[in-house]
């Protein structure tokens, strides 16, 4: 005898198929006794035979729960309608679930009834996330279970739910909804590796490299294990005061990912961030200047007077200044650095910066062509930096 205490039970009731050694009411009473629920609900059809059978089943059980003070059952009016059966069983499940304690399990047994009733009850249980389904089985004669030989065949739907949610999470991941994918996967301990991929890549895409590294270091995913050294390097590079070629390369790769999702605003914004980091890297290599930029160092660069006056705008401390993209590019241009020259020569670079600035102050959308131009022109501009090639990120869960 299979028991699942403590539990609630929802049982569908049909009209039964006649057999010399079978009695539907007795068989379902045996089912209830084997399951030993603290509470149970019966769902017959409105067919008089079905309702009478339900009356016989519940007789003597103080654990039976009537639907209301005046109505013992919520009955299925059309037992040949799968959709109607499914909807009605979901209603009963919702009511039963409200009475569950945290230690109790809700079980649905859809064995009895028309095929549509059984299928509808099964679908309803899966719709509502009911983890356990029971089916009453036993020795058969005349096509029906012999009364007294009943056994419970349990089906644990957790594997089904995990497979279903993994498929949904994969679609969300492909669309760029990484947080949503992770939240779905976290319901299933067996999908912890896939959840860690979604969480790690989410932090990675937002340049939270330290957290991405931490997630990868605790993950069992082979993909993240392989990427641990790269994420460690990114986390270290992110802590540096000077621009790092690994970060510039990573930003461009991230922009490519967002472009593949047709998220044009994010693509352009991150591409421009790569542009800024690339210019600062080129400036550091050409002149040794790193943030915070010292006024004295800029004055020692032997720049043309107009450019020096543009760049020297002391902050409150009188010692440091802020260099915008144009000024960094002009310094590099005067030093005949190819990066600085490309900033002004390559069509699309400055236009992309202008669009990025508009996004900060105006309501406007970025077209696919604008996003594509931003990524291509900026990638071309920073080619002289000879950036490293980042490893591929997990393409799927």
- Parallel/antiparallel/unpaired status of strands 7-13 and 39-44: parallel
- Distance between CA atoms of residues 303 and 350, nearest Å: 22
Question: For residue 29, what are its two tokens?
Answer: 């009473």
Please tell me the predicted confidence (pLDDT) of residue 143: 63
CATH of 7-156, one of 3.40.720.10, 3.20.20.80, 3.40.50.10770, 3.40.640.10: 3.40.50.10770
Per-residue pLDDT, averaged over 7-24, amounts to 82
The pTM of the full predicted model, rounded to 2 decimals, is 0.83
A 10 A CB-CB count for 155 gives 14
d(CA 247, CA 47): 71
Write the DSSP assignment of 278-327 as a string of letters.
HHHHHHHHHH---SSEEHHHHHTT---HHHHHHH----TTSSEE---HHH
Non-local CB neighbours of 355 within 8 Å, separated by 6+ positions: 268, 364, 366, 370, 374
- Round to whole Å and give the CA distance between 234 and 254: 13
Strand order through the sheet with 151-156: 39-44, 7-13, 105-109, 132-137, 151-156
Residue 280 pLDDT > 60: yes
* Four-CA torsion 197, 203, 204, 208, nearest 10 degrees: -150
Handedness of CA 75, 78, 81, 87 (dihedral sign): negative
pLDDT tens string 36-64:
999 999 999 999 999 999 999 999 999 99
Neighbours of 360 (CB within 10 A): 7
The CB density around residue 260, as the number of other CB atoms within 10 Å, is 12
Quote the percentage of the chain above a pLDDT of 70: 96
Nearest 5°: the CA angle 257, 211, 215 is 85
Q: How far is CA 297 from CA 124, 279, 290, 310, 327, in A?
A: 72, 17, 10, 14, 15
In 3D, which of 11, 316, 35, 306 has the Cα closest to residue 154?
A: 35
Question: In this predicted structure, what is the pLDDT of residue 3?
Answer: 46
User: Could you count the other beta carbons within 10 Å of the beta carbon of residue 317?
Assistant: 8
Q: Which of 385, 371, 381 is nearest to 275 (CA)?
A: 381
65-91 pLDDT, tens digit each: 999 999 999 999 999 999 999 999 999
Residues 178-192: tens digit of each pLDDT: 999 999 999 999 999
pLDDT digits (tens, 9 = 90+) for 128-178: 999 899 999 999 776 678 888 889 999 999 999 999 999 999 999 999 999
Q: pLDDT class for 6, splitting at 50, 70, 90?
A: confident
Question: Which residue from 236, 272, 239, 267 is spatially nearest to 254, judged by alpha carbons?
Answer: 267
CB of 125 within 8 A of CB of 105?
Answer: no
DSSP string over 109-120: E--SS-HHHHHH
């Amino acid at each position: 005898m299979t028991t699942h205490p403590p539990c609630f039970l929802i049982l569908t009731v049909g009209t039964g198929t006649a057999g010399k050694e079978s009695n539907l009411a007795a068989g379902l009473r045996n089912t209830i006794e084997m399951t030993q629920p603290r509470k149970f609900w019966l769902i017959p059809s409105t067919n008089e035979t079905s309702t009478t059978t339900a009356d016989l089943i519940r007789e003597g059980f103080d654990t039976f729960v009537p639907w209301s003070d005046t109505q013992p059952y919520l009955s299925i009016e059309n037992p040949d309608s799968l959709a109607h059966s499914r909807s009605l069983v979901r209603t009963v499940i919702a009511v039963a679930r409200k009475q569950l304690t945290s230690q109790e399990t809700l079980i649905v047994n859809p064995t009895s009834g028309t095929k549509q009733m059984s299928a509808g009850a099964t679908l309803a249980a899966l719709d509502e996330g009911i983890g356990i389904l029971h089916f009453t089985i036993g020795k058969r004669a005349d096509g029906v279970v012999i009364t007294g030989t009943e056994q419970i065949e349990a089906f644990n739907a957790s594997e089904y739910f995990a497979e279903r949610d993994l498929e949904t999470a994969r679609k969300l991941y492909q669309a760029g909804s990484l947080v949503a994918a992770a939240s779905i996967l976290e319901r299933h301990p067996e999908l912890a590796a896939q959840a860690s991929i979604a969480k790690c890549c989410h932090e990675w895409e937002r340049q939270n490299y330290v957290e991405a590294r931490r997630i990868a270091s605790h993950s069992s995913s082979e993909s993240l294990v392989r990427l641990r050294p790269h994420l460690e390097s990114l986390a270290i590079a992110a802590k540096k005061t000077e621009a790092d070629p690994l970060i510039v390369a990573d930003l461009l790769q991230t922009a490519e990912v967002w472009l593949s999702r047709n998220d044009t605003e994010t693509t352009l914004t991150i591409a421009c961030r790569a542009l800024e980091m690339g210019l600062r890297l080129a400036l550091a290599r050409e002149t040794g200047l790193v943030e915070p930029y010292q006024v004295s160092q800029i004055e020692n660069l032997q720049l043309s007077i107009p450019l020096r006056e543009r760049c020297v705008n002391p902050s409150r401390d009188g010692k440091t200044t802020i260099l915008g993209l144009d000024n960094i590019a002009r310094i590099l241009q005067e030093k005949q650095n190819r990066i600085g020259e490309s900033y002004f020569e390559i069509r699309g670079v400055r236009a992309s910066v202008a669009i990025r600035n508009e996004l900060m102050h105006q309501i406007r959308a970025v077209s696919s062509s604008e996003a594509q131009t931003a990524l291509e022109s900026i990638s071309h501009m920073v080619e002289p930096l000879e950036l490293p090639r980042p490893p591929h990120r997990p393409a799927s869960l």
